[in-house]
Amino acid sequence: MRRRLLPLLPLLLVGSACSVDGIQSVGGRDGQGGAAIADLFGIFLVATLLFAAVVAAFLGAAALRRRGRRADGIEDPEGSGTERPLKTGLIVWIAAVAIGLFGLTLASHLTDRSMARALPDPASALRIEIVANQWWWDVRYHFRDPSRDVRTANELHLPAGVPAHVTLKSNDVIHSFWVPNLAGKQDLIPGRITDLMLIPRKTGVYRGQCAEFCGMQHAHMALDVTVEPREAFERWRAHNAAPAVPPTNALTRAGYDYFTTRECSTCHAIAGTPASGQVAPDLTHFASRRSIAAGTLPMSRGHIYAWIADPQGPKPGNAMPYIGLEADELHAVAAYLESLK
Partner 1 sequence: MSSRSPNKLARIGLAGAALLALGACDREERDTSRQPKPETISLASSDPRAKEYENSSFHISQGQRYYSWMNCSGCHALAGGGGMGPPLSDDEWRYGGRMEDIVQTILKGRPNGMPAFEGRITEQQAWQLAAFVRSLSAQPRQDVLPGRSDDISNAEPQTLEERRPQQSESNTTLPSAEKD
Residues that bind partner 1 (CB under 8 A): 172, 191, 261-263, 266-267, 279, 319, 321-324
CA distance 165 to 145: 17
In whole angstroms, give the CA distance from residue 211 to residue 219. 9
Q: Distance between CA atoms of 41 and 36, rounded to whole angstroms?
A: 9
Q: How far is CA 248 from CA 64, 244, 264, 275, 301, in A?
A: 82, 12, 20, 18, 18
CB 292, min distance to partner 1, A: 20
Alpha-carbon torsion (21, 23, 24, 27), positive or negative: positive
Residue 126 or 294: the one with the smaller Cβ distance to partner 1 is: 294
- Please report how close the Cβ of residue 194 comes to partner 1 at its closest, in angstroms: 18
Largest separation between any pair of C-alpha atoms in the chain: 106
Question: CA 147 to CA 241: how far, in whole Å?
Answer: 7
Give me the least distance between CB of 328 and partner 1, in Å please: 16
Q: How far is the CB of 214 from partner 1 (least distance, A)?
A: 14
> Residue 288 carries which DSSP code?
G
Q: Which of 272, 274, 320 has the alpha carbon at shortest distance from 296?
A: 320
**Closer residue to partner 1 (CB): 272 or 324:** 324
Q: Which is nearer to partner 1, 26 or 319 (CB)?
A: 319
Q: Closer to partner 1 at the Cβ: 89 or 321? A: 321
| Min CB(261)–partner 1 separation in Å | 7
CB of 205: closest distance to partner 1 in angstroms?
Answer: 32
Nearest to partner 1 of 261, 300 (CB atom): 261
Sequence letter at residue 286 = F
Nearer to partner 1, 169 or 237 (CB): 169
